[in-house]
Amino acid sequence: MVKQKKSIVLMARVLVLALLIGVFASVPSEQTFAAANKALRSKVVFNGDKESDEAWMNNNYVMQAGYKKASKIKKNMKMSAKVYVPAAALKKNGDTVHVDAWIGLENSKNGNYVGDIRTKYTVMLIKDGKKMRVALWDLAKEKECKPGKTASYKKSGKYYVITINDMPLENVVYKDEQTSKINTKTKYNLGQRIGVTGTCSKTSGYVYVDDLKISGVTTQKITFNKKDYKWYSGWHLDKNYSLKVITIK
- Give bridge partners of residue 102 from the DSSP assignment: 118, 193
Show me where the domains of the chain are located: 6-246
Per-residue pLDDT reduced to its tens digit, 69-110? 999 999 999 999 999 999 999 999 999 999 999 999 999 999
pLDDT above 80 for 38: yes
Q: For residue 123, how many other CB atoms are within 10 A of its CB?
A: 26
- Give me the helices (H) in the chain, please: 6-20, 53-58
Helix count (H) and strand count (E) of the chain?
2, 18
pLDDT at 30: 38
pLDDT above 90 for 182: yes
Percent of the chain with pLDDT over 70: 86
In angstroms, the Cα distances linking 78 to 30, 49, 153 are 26, 32, 19
User: Mean of the pLDDT values across residues 156-179?
Assistant: 96
How do strand 131-138 and strand 121-128 relate by DSSP bridges? antiparallel
User: Mean of the pLDDT values across residues 194-218?
Assistant: 97
d(CA 9, CA 21): 18
